[in-house]
Amino acid sequence: MNKNEFISIKFDLVNGLIQWYTRKYHIKLSELRDYAYDSNEVDKLIMEKGDYVIYEVYEIERPVVEGEMIFGVTRIFPGVIGQEYNFTRGHYHVNKMAGEIYVGIKGCGLMLLQDLQGNFFTEVLERGSLIYIPGKYAHRVVNTCDEDLVFLFAYPAIAGHDYELIKKCGFKKVVLNIEGKPTIIDNPKYNKCKQS
Ligand SMILES: O=P(O)(O)OC[C@H]1O[C@](O)(CO)[C@@H](O)[C@@H]1O
Ligand SMILES: [Fe+2]
């Protein structure tokens, strides 16, 4: 097999373990401070438990040229930051023509989607879900269950990640654990951001 042309690897579809990847990175609690519904809860948790990993990404990198695709597996650990379920930062693609595909492998949660016009919706992401995200939608995944949420992703290598707007304003809604149930509420930070 010529690795410059073909990639064929084993993928454990039960546990979501990938046999080979070129980059592994993780996002810790402190890196979500600006993205959290309540950043005081981030500080409190770090004081109590230290700065732990919220999610990890196993990626197969490819050259950033038209036609290439980057793909891999993300694992979000279960838990809450205050009331807010563990989540990915979320981002827009710089290249609005670049869509993305997610396939749920293990666990359950929600994908939050929004565009620059303020349209917002959610999709269930669980084992067996297949979600196509058109290029203009920012996307975030929230783990609402008690186990790891694992999913496969694939996107054009030229997509580019834009985190700034999400860092500044967040998503229109957040997913909180209220009396043990995932509850979607308005994000005050987003509303304030729109007004200023
Ligand atoms: O890049 P974020 O918003 O932290 O979320 C991580 C997830 O999104 C991706 O960047 C793909 O869109 C993956 O690396 C991973 O699945
Ligand atoms: Fe993306």
Cα–Cα distance, 124 to 132 (Å, whole number): 12
Contact between 173 and 120 (Cβ < 8 Å): yes
Q: Whose CA is nearest to atom 14 of ligand 1?
A: 57
pLDDT of residue 1: 45
Global pTM reads 0.96
Positions in the chain short of pLDDT 70:
1-4, 194-196
CA 135–ligand 2 middle distance (angstroms): 8
Per CATH, the homologous superfamily of domain 9-192 is Jelly Rolls (2.60.120.10)
Q: Which residues pair with 120 in a beta bridge?
A: 114
* pLDDT tens figures, 65-116: 999 999 999 999 999 999 999 999 999 999 999 999 999 999 999 999 999 9
Long-range contacts made by residues 46-49, C-beta under 8 angstroms, separation at least 24?
A: none
Residue 24 in contact with ligand 1 by CB distance below 6 A: no
Task: State ipTM.
Answer: 0.95
Does the Cβ of 93 fall within 6 Å of ligand 1?
no
Which residue owns the Cα nearest ligand 1 atom 5? Answer: 88
Please name which ligand lies nearest the alpha carbon of 54. Answer: 1
- d(CA 92, CA 118) in angstroms, rounded, equals 13
pLDDT number for residue 6: 86
Residue-level pLDDT at 3:
53
